[in-house]
Amino acid sequence: MILNWRKEADLKRVVAITVAFFILLAGLLLHRYFTYYASYDQGIFNQVFWNNAHGNFFQSTLSSQLSTDVIHTGELPRVDYHRLGQHFTPALLVWWPIYALFPSPVTLSVLQAAFAAVAGLLLYFIARQHLEHRLSLAIMVSFYGAIAVLNPYLANFHDLGQIPLFIFGLLLAMEYRRWWVFGLLCLAILAVREDSSIVLFGVGAYLLASRRHPWVGAAVCGLSVGYFVLVTNVFMPVFSDDISKRFMIEEFGQYIDDTEASTLQVLWAMISQPGLLLRELVSPPDDTLAYLAGHWLPLALIPALSPAAWIMAGPTLLKLTLTDGSSGLNTSLRYALNVVPGLFYGAIIWWAGQGWRSFAQPLHALTPRSPSRNFRHFWTGCLIVSLVLVPLTNPSRAFAFVVPDSFQPWVYVPLPLQWQRSQSINQLLATIPAEASVTATTYLVPHVSGRRAVLRMPMTVYQDDQGAAQTVDYVAADFWRLRRYQVAFGRDRDRFETFIPAVNNWIDSGEYGLIRADNGVILLQRGVTSDPAATTDWQAFLAEQEPSQPL
């Protein structure tokens, strides 16, 4: 069926739902950013975009601080470090003109909400190629209510947010046989990240197995494999050694007995150890089943019955399962978005009538299924459960204004206090010159990341463009937050206990002067004398005990 969207019934309702979803998601993301719950990755991507806008493409001191050269060999973070050595993400340049017009971390949050909203709209039009309006609308609403969609999109800006948008655009182009658009989107998907080729491979595998467009499927599979091998073994090592010395070891270290390995070496190690490979594939079974259930839930478990869903999402699921640990099997993490398109498209194809028995039959020869009244009620219940789980899991603390960060011990910052603190922090950070270098605690990093040199505390020294070591001009730290959260979170406790002596030492040695302080939020400037009022406020904060009862 070729759909004329201009004549589509109830299109206004579809667009209204899309706009409402965009406003809600953007509102939650912006609230998260403005109340200082956006964190390190938001800062990394904002600095990358900021450097792109200033002609220093894909450079970032924040990414450099996470590089193998800094972590493993103790080198200084560099302002000219290219993040492409960690993740090959040229697709970000697509959004460069928008950021150039509105250079702010806020732009990234709005973009992320737009990625999700438009992806859902494209999904509706894909479904309408095979299904009637109400069922197509139900699938779109299920996408907007899926825990594996909402949780990753409510996080910091990340490159994988583009995947559902590009994949659904690709599938819609395929349905309309707009092959030049299909080809452009293949390239865009590959450019999202080096491992997005695995997602594209799933699309090619489906086109081959279903015999819908076998030659196109073979080309897509060949392109995906060739690109992955080329980019991980040739392109990325040009920029840094992170792919072989950090990511391959961190994610697939159980297969190799060395301190570094290429992707080809890891693949060979997997193939040559079938016993270990099988154990990793089925272990841990409870985590794997829970992860799949989280993906299937908003679609009333239909993807579990769909061969198209298994084939399209299978390569990505295989990669996540074989990764060391269970961090990949988490519907709150961005990697879940790589799985989502295959499962939702697979559900559409199942409703179109293509099950296991009829998988190789042409879709136009099949009779679409229609959900019964009881099944519609079951589907509604599944979707409600998914929607309820989203705020309860409090993804990336996006619902911290209503859900406590910890129940035992109790840790909760009320909404009025969140906004009151944000205003005082804004005033403090506004005094930092735009060209100055800064180191900051994690949740302040995004707000100071639009500059050439930014670090995360406690690091204060970096390499400038001439290769010379430089000490940052300013230190910004939020100790109120660390003290409030340390009772429940060990990482915050460690930072609170470590950073306070470091700050006092900087002040006492005269290396930095304390120029602003407001209830534990402090600003230090290198080579100046401390302000007496700020010093008094800081000492009062150190002497004060955290209230035993929540505010």
Provide mean pLDDT across the span 264-293.
80
Kindly indicate the confidence band of residue 546, based on its pLDDT and cuts at 50, 70 and 90: low
Provide mean pLDDT across the span 83-100.
96
Identify the burial level of 56 via C-beta atoms within 10 angstroms of its C-beta, where 0-12 means exposed, 13-18 middle and 19 or more buried.
middle
Nearest one of 442, 443, 440, 542 to 497, comparing CA atoms: 542
pLDDT at 548: 45
pLDDT at 276: 76
pLDDT at 279: 78
Question: Structure tokens of 445?
Answer: 């990093």
pLDDT at 121: 97
Question: Structure tokens of 398?
Answer: 């996006």
Nearest one of 240, 243, 228, 220 to 194, comparing CA atoms: 228
In the predicted model, is pLDDT for residue 167 greater than 90? Answer: yes
pLDDT at 9: 59
In the predicted model, is pLDDT for residue 551 greater than 60? Answer: no
439-to-41, 101, 430, 477, 503 alpha-carbon distances in Å: 15, 26, 15, 8, 12
Kindly indicate the confidence band of residue 327, based on its pLDDT and cuts at 50, 70 and 90: low
pLDDT at 358: 76
Kindly indicate the confidence band of residue 550, based on its pLDDT and cuts at 50, 70 and 90: very low
**Contact status, residue 486 vs residue 500, Cβ threshold 8 Å:** no
Q: CA 125 to CA 507: how far, in whole Å?
A: 61
**Contact status, residue 62 vs residue 455, Cβ threshold 8 Å:** yes
Percent of the chain with pLDDT over 70: 97
pLDDT at 375: 95
Q: CA 65 to CA 60: how far, in whole Å?
A: 9
- Tell me which of 328 and 24 has the higher pLDDT: 24
pLDDT at 170: 98
**Contact status, residue 138 vs residue 379, Cβ threshold 8 Å:** yes
Question: Structure tokens of 53?
Answer: 């806008």
pLDDT at 285: 79
Nearest one of 425, 405, 423 to 414, comparing CA atoms: 405
Nearest one of 149, 196, 148 to 170, comparing CA atoms: 196
**Contact status, residue 174 vs residue 206, Cβ threshold 8 Å:** no
Mean pLDDT (the chain) is: 92
* Residues 477, 478, 483, 487, CA torsion sign: negative
Task: Give the tens place of pLDDT for each residue, 220-235.
Answer: 999 999 999 999 999 9
Provide mean pLDDT across the span 436-465.
97
| Three-class secondary structure of residue 159 per DSSP | helix
Provide mean pLDDT across the span 439-459.
97
**Which pTM was predicted?**
0.94
Task: Give the tens place of pLDDT for each residue, 397-421.
Answer: 999 999 999 999 999 999 999 999 9
| Three-class secondary structure of residue 257 per DSSP | coil
pLDDT at 2: 47
Q: Which residue is listed with tokens 């589907």?
A: 379
Task: Give the tens place of pLDDT for each residue, 63-90.
Answer: 999 999 999 999 999 999 999 999 999 9
Task: Give the tens place of pLDDT for each residue, 375-396.
Answer: 999 999 999 999 999 999 999 9
Q: What is the DSSP code string of 134-147?
A: HHHHHHHHHHHH-H
DSSP-derived letter for residue 82 is: B
User: Is the preceding peptide bond at 237 cis, omega within 30 degrees of 0?
Assistant: no
Task: Give the tens place of pLDDT for each residue, 469-492.
Answer: 999 999 999 999 999 999 999 999
Task: Give the tens place of pLDDT for each residue, 179-213.
Answer: 999 999 999 999 999 999 999 999 999 999 998 89
